[in-house]
Structure 1
Amino acid sequence: MTVVDQPRQLVRYGSPTGRWVLFATVLGSALTFIDATVVNIALPHIGREFHAGAAALQWTVNGYTLSLASLILLGGSLGDRFGRRRVFVTGVIWFAAASLLCGLAPNVQVLIAARVVQGIGGALLTPGSLAILEASFHPDDRGRAIGAWSGLGGIAGALGPFLGGWLVQVSTWRLVFLINAPLAAAVVAVALRHIPESRDPHAARSLDVPGVVLAAASLGGLTYGFTAWPTNGPGSAGVATSLSVGVAALIGFVFTERRSAHPMLPLDVFRSRAFTAANLATFAVYAALGGVFFLVVLNLQVVAGYSALAAGTAMLPITVLMLLLSARSGALAQRIGPRLPMTFGPLVCAAAMLLFSRIGPHAFYPATVLPAVIVLGLGTSLNVAPLTATALGSLDESRAGIASGVNNAVARAAGLLAVAVLPLAAGLGTGSLTNPATLAPVYRTSMYICAGLLVAGSIIAAVAIPTRLTRPREPQNREMHCAITGPPLRADSNT
């Protein structure tokens, strides 16, 4: 697949233009990375200011994730067709405008609506950052550029909770959103001046609009139904209708993608047993992680009595451990095969869930919280890199884009549904997530459920992930459409 319009546009890693391209893509991606973490820290303050119930707080998180998960594959397709810089810049501007609306929201209903709009911007800019790196840099420098993007993005993700906790504690939760505007302005200015435009001349000329609509309807119907269930009950017309729409839309999505000439999700990718297993494991693992990162920070503030800043930095060792160990874990999986790391990594994470379940009132960080955080960091470091590499490497290299996009969408959909379902499954009922007496037992049960999901992910890996991954070869005359341009699997890749 051709990823640039003209070879003369390629930039070198050490050049001034190369550094500016890295700056724009890293900072643009960091907007979404940081926002996804700091909002959890602000939830107790949002709940108190708006007198918001559990469902409203869940939708404050899920409104963003819903639109992002539904549209991220479309965002990659739009970049391939209309220009990656153009769609990236549009996404950044869209994200910033929605962030301003979030920060100025007069009530929780406007905040949720703005979060949905913000997710649309995230879906436009997120796939564009890696695609721009692959399209802009010389083949000899792409590996270094993507490595730098990953490392710097990890640092941004580590600083995000600290910054968010500090802003909430010294000022107001609204600054968590308002700070995005000046950062976005810097990204747009640099991108327009320094990032060369690129597109895929072989991209499909038609977009899979029915697939997009049905995917959004499916995720939205299921999320709304499960979120409303604790308050309204399973017999209410709204819950039953919403869940029915979600299931029907999911069936319609599968049927549509099977018949579409240019599907958003080509179903033939699931003929690969390794790819299917990797995505099933991704769903189980990321559902658990989505629940953990939603509930632990909330529990630390509401039940354990931590400040927003302390709760925001409590999980920081996880990011540090992943920065230090993920590359080594990937190298280990390449040497011994992905099955063992993907089997034992989730089991280590499951042990961390049992440690997290002990966090109660006045929990002492070094003795109660830190051990759970370290064990979770070790487990995720062992599992995430092999999991991602298996999902990408299970298909022919020409389909790396769709492999990356599907895996990304599966992970985000898992987190979305986890936030909707976990409080219901843990027995929240009509209680409030900002009430310590209500949250404490729900939190503890949720950690046990997350442990079970991680064990399920481990079993899937042990049974279905091959000991050695062999990339299949596609017929040379087969037409391909990549919805998202993923990172090259070799530093010299030109596809």
Structure 2
Amino acid sequence: MHDHRNCHRPATARGSAGTRKGALLLVLLVAQLMVILDITAVNIALPSLAADLELTGSAISWTITSYSLVFGSLLLLGGRAADLLGRRRMFLTGLGLFTLSSLATATAGSAEALFAARAGQGLGAAMLSPAALAIIMGAFEGAARARALAAWSAVGGAGAAVGVLVGGVLTEVADWRSIFAVNLPVAAALAVGARVVVPADASTPRWRGLDARGAVLATASLASIVVAITQAEAAGWASARTLVAGLGGVAGLAAFAALERRTAAPLLRIERLADRAAGGGLVLMIAAAGSIFGLFLLSSLYLQNALGMGPLATGLAFVPLALAVGAGAHVAGHVVGRHGVRGPLAAAFLVAAAGMTLLAHVAEDGDYVRDVLPGMLVAGAGLGVAVVAVSIAILTGARDGEAGMMSGITTTGHEIGGTIGIAALSAVAAAGGAVAGPGTAAGIALAFVAAAIIAIVAGVVALFVLPPARHFVPRLQAPGAMPVH
């Protein structure tokens, strides 16, 4: 006689596996959200933080730079370490370091202590973030992977806007230290959850293949570029300091590429970037991240410096942007699985350009609902699609044992792109008028025009560089089954 109970076991097993994977994704997304929040929440708190610790002039910017410099320059190493030392080990180690550094930041009594603690947060984030993304790559396949990556990218985009809200609320009801102190209970819950749902590392750590020479060269080169970009506005884009740091960093990356091609176990397999999806995706990630971080910055400057909105009101004004980015990311997770990345990315960048064009009409006596909200929603939706699509494009090229490496490339492009976007668009705003006081709206409007042009160029690049859907979609559904195009 047929046992009907057997019919239900596969479905029950699938349901249990699905629940476990849902819990796994939740833990990884909350961890990434914590990392993202500590980038953008600080922006709102800078005035009160600077007054408390008596920071002045360019020293204030190091509150952000000390974090982004270490985070952005160590992501390649963090990604490769996840492959060789274990993704779960790197995730938990990075989480622990990030938590301890958050405590040190919350209790900092001087500028020096604050900057050192923020650098520690950056190091922890550089270990945690690519490891988490690599865990997603290993746990999900095909359409489920596309949806998981969409959720990851939504956290990266919408989380930045949420960070502005969180920073505004905490600064208003408590003080700037609470922004970092709130990480402690969240991280404790994540550590417990991760030990339950993140798969244990199957192999022992492999230190011999970590490519120390490449790691030092890549880290120093990326750090030099980040320093050049973040300090360019104060020192001058054509100053000797900016040019030496920037060109030195570029030369260092060229030397790194040459070294990696001759290394048996490289930090980064340069030939992966010859893949049109991975190499083209990296370029477009820089454009997408630069655009979305620039959108946050310019909108925040306009709301606070031109319209005179306070921290809490500014944070609340960003809620629609977070929802728009999240909606765009959700749409992208479904569209890319059917239509590839070329068409959706080109369309997404053109939608973003339309939103930036609407925002370019901001005026000194403007209104949030009339002058900011429409463009914010349109640009946010377009960039939400773009960030997801470029992430999927890069990560689909990952081979066995290289998910951490490709995750490192993805997150490096995101952080370096965001740094470039903030610096470049701030410079345009300053050149076109000002970022505070009279002329604020004129300068910010010009910067939005520049952002629209960047988005249009990125859309054209997507059409000519990325692979067509007939080549890309089979690779997404069955990674490694198709040749490189």
Normalised by the size of structure 2, how large is the TM-score?
0.82
Decide which of 300, 303, 315 is 2:306's aligned counterpart.
303
Q: CA shift at 1:159, angstroms?
A: 4.8
Decide which of 94, 97, 100 is 2:100's aligned counterpart.
97
Question: How many Å separate the matches in 1 of 2:386 and 2:142?
Answer: 29
Q: CA shift at 1:361, angstroms?
A: 4.5
DSSP-derived class of the 2:471 partner: coil
Aligned to 1:348: 351
1:113-147 Cα offsets, whole Å, 9 max, x none, are 33222111011111222444566x69899759947
1:65 aligned onto 2:68 = yes
Question: How many Å separate the matches in 2 of 1:23 and 1:405?
Answer: 21
Do the aligned residues in 1 keep the contact of 2:289 with 2:387 (CA within 8 Å)? no
**Matched residue type, 2:255:** G
DSSP-derived class of the 1:436 partner: coil
Aligned to 1:458: 459
Do the aligned residues in 1 keep the contact of 2:306 with 2:364 (CA within 8 Å)? yes
Aligned to 1:32: 35
Aligned to 2:448: 447
Question: How many Å separate the matches in 2 of 1:234 and 1:81?
Answer: 39
Question: How many Å separate the matches in 1 of 2:246 and 2:383?
Answer: 32
Question: How many Å separate the matches in 1 of 2:281 and 2:332?
Answer: 16
Aligned to 2:271: 268
Task: Evaluate the alpha carbon distance shift between residue 325 and residue 243 of structure 1 in structure 2; reply closer, same or farther with a 3 A threshold.
Answer: closer
**Matched residue type, 2:284:** A
Greater CA drift, 120-129 or 143-152:
143-152
Question: How many Å separate the matches in 2 of 1:378 and 1:472?
Answer: 23
Matched residue count: 467
Q: How does 1:19-418 map to 2 (within 5 A)?
A: 21-22=24-25, 24-49=27-52, 52=55, 55-132=58-135, 146=148, 150=152, 153=155, 159-192=162-195, 195-200=198-203, 205-233=208-236, 238-361=241-364, 363-393=366-396, 401-418=404-421
Do the aligned residues in 2 keep the contact of 1:391 with 1:403 (CA within 8 Å)? yes
Do the aligned residues in 2 keep the contact of 1:103 with 1:174 (CA within 8 Å)? yes
1:26-62 Cα offsets, whole Å, 9 max, x none, are 3322211322332232234334555655644443333
Q: CA shift at 1:158, angstroms?
A: 6.5
Aligned to 2:4: none
Aligned to 1:13: 17
Aligned to 2:10: none
Question: How many Å separate the matches in 2 of 1:148 and 1:274?
Answer: 17
Q: Which residues of structure 1 form unaligned runs of 5+?
A: 1-9, 475-487
**Matched residue type, 1:182:** P
Q: CA shift at 1:318, angstroms?
A: 3.0
Task: Evaluate the alpha carbon distance shift between residue 339 and residue 268 of structure 1 in structure 2; reply closer, same or farther with a 3 A threshold.
Answer: same
Do the aligned residues in 1 keep the contact of 2:344 with 2:389 (CA within 8 Å)? yes
Normalised by the size of structure 1, how large is the TM-score?
0.80
Q: CA shift at 1:393, angstroms?
A: 3.4
1:247-280 Cα offsets, whole Å, 9 max, x none, are 3322322222222222222111122233322222
Do the aligned residues in 2 keep the contact of 1:25 with 1:129 (CA within 8 Å)? yes
Q: Percent identity?
A: 30
Question: How many Å separate the matches in 2 of 1:285 and 1:147?
Answer: 16
Q: Which residues of structure 2 form unaligned runs of 5+?
A: 1-13
Task: Evaluate the alpha carbon distance shift between residue 227 and residue 69 of structure 1 in structure 2; reply closer, same or farther with a 3 A threshold.
Answer: closer
Q: CA shift at 1:425, angstroms?
A: 4.4
DSSP-derived class of the 1:470 partner: helix
Question: How many Å separate the matches in 1 of 2:141 and 2:197?
Answer: 18
Question: How many Å separate the matches in 1 of 2:15 and 2:429?
Answer: 52
Do the aligned residues in 2 keep the contact of 1:396 with 1:471 (CA within 8 Å)? no
Question: How many Å separate the matches in 1 of 2:42 and 2:244?
Answer: 30
Question: How many Å separate the matches in 2 of 1:143 and 1:339?
Answer: 18
Question: How many Å separate the matches in 1 of 2:235 and 2:191?
Answer: 44
Q: CA shift at 1:398, angstroms?
A: 7.1
Task: Evaluate the alpha carbon distance shift between residue 145 and residue 327 of structure 1 in structure 2; reply closer, same or farther with a 3 A threshold.
Answer: closer
Do the aligned residues in 2 keep the contact of 1:43 with 1:298 (CA within 8 Å)? no
Task: Evaluate the alpha carbon distance shift between residue 333 and residue 202 of structure 1 in structure 2; reply closer, same or farther with a 3 A threshold.
Answer: same
What is the root-mean-square deviation of aligned Cα atoms in Å? 3.9
Aligned to 1:468: 469
